[in-house]
């Protein structure tokens, strides 16, 4: 395993693009949006994959999940399309992480390069996501375990860049995250929370705005479920049966666009947080400028 090789600069011009001082949250916040704005075409090329595949999966799910189908059939369709969605989300998230790290380091990168690297590291990234989700989700099942879930969720949360840039395996990436977070858990937790809140609020505002616009132009929306059984049914039978195919297609595509638009902001934020912890813990950037 060749850890850290991707982080080695190839010339001195690239070193100058790397911040040499620790970042406060406002620096990370500014970086989240400025990097996204300057490299929008790059990120759009990556999230376009999420839009196309996500829309196709959504339409297939809506077509196969009907009121007339057997309940077991709807369950199978829901499980299959759910797995497909997870695969697409992990692939795109890995590509966004790789692209974010490369542009932070001042390296040239294309959407194709990022997606190729995401494919190469897919199973490692998937393994880290699976273990993180299983461990954190398992702890959060009980009220007593929720504080532990939060603690370890933050402690292991910076696994993405080690996998995509340092070439770490899943377990080593989680350990690498632990090393970087150790001694700075409260700070990492606070920044993680703020990044999550910002992206959630952006998604909420955009969703509410587009819902209002769509409702204003006459695109129907599904009624809120009133019973527990109705909620369960919604898990397996698409709303297309209630609002019609055209309305469902429009609303589904708009929601996918909102999600796709938000995804790079979050990935850039966590990537900057990773590099900030490297600067603070290991002098990354400072030491490199002195020695090269």
pLDDT in tens, 216-275: 776 666 555 555 445 544 544 556 666 666 777 888 888 899 999 999 999 999 999 999
Assess whether pLDDT exceeds 80 at residue 193: yes
Q: What average pLDDT score do residues 75-97 get?
A: 90
Question: Predicted confidence band at 18 (pLDDT cuts at 50, 70, 90)?
Answer: low
pLDDT in tens, 128-164: 999 999 999 999 998 999 999 999 999 999 999 999 9
**DSSP secondary structure string, the chain?**
--TTGGGS-SSHHHHTTS--S---HHHHHHHHHHHHHHTHHHHHHHHHHHHHHHHHHHHHHHHH--TTS-HHHHHHHHHHHHHHHHHHHHHHHHHHHHHHHHHHTT----HHHHHHHHHHTHHHHHHHHHHHHHHHHHHTTSTTTHHHHHHHHHHTTT-HHIIIII---HHHHHHHHHHHHTT-HHHHHHHHHHHHHHHHHHHHHHHHHHHHHHHHTT---PPPP-SHHHHHHHHHS-THHHH-HHHHHHHHHHHHHHHHHHHHHHHHHHHHHHHHHHHHHH-TTHHHHHH-
Give domain limits for the chain. 24-122+184-285
Question: Predicted confidence band at 114 (pLDDT cuts at 50, 70, 90)?
Answer: very high
For residue 181, the model assigns a pLDDT of: 95
pTM of the model: 0.84
pLDDT in tens, 39-78: 999 999 999 999 999 999 888 877 776 655 556 666 787 7
């Amino acid at each position: 395993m060749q850890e850290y090789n991707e982080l080695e600069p190839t010339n001195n011009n690239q070193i100058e693009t790397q911040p040499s001082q620790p970042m406060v949250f406002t620096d990370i916040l500014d970086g989240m949006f400025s990097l996204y704005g300057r490299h929008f075409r790059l990120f759009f090329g990556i999230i376009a994959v999420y839009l196309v595949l996500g829309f196709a999966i959504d339409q297939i799910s809506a077509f196969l999940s009907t009121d007339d189908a057997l309940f077991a059939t709807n369950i199978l369709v829901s499980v299959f399309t759910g797995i497909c969605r997870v695969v697409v989300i992990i692939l795109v998230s890995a590509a966004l992480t790789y692209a974010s790290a490369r542009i932070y380091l001042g390296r040239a990168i294309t959407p194709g390069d990022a997606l190729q690297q995401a494919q190469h590291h897919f199973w490692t990234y998937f393994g880290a996501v699976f273990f993180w989700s299983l461990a954190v989700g398992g702890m959060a099942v009980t009220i007593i375990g929720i504080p532990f879930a939060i603690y370890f969720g933050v402690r292991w949360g910076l696994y993405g860049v080690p996998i995509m840039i340092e070439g770490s395996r899943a377990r080593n990436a989680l350990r690498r995250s632990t090393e970087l977070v150790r001694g700075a858990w409260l700070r990492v937790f606070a920044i993680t929370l703020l990044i999550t809140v910002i992206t959630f609020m952006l998604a909420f505002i955009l969703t509410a705005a587009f819902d209002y616009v769509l409702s204003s132009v006459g695109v129907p929306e599904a009624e809120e479920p009133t019973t527990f059984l109705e909620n369960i049914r919604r898990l397996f039978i698409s709303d297309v049966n209630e609002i019609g195919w055209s309305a469902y297609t429009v609303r589904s595509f708009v929601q996918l666009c909102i999600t796709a638009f938000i995804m790079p902001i979050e990935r850039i934020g966590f990537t900057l947080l990773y590099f900030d912890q490297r600067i603070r813990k290991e002098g990354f950037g400072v030491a490199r400028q002195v020695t090269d």
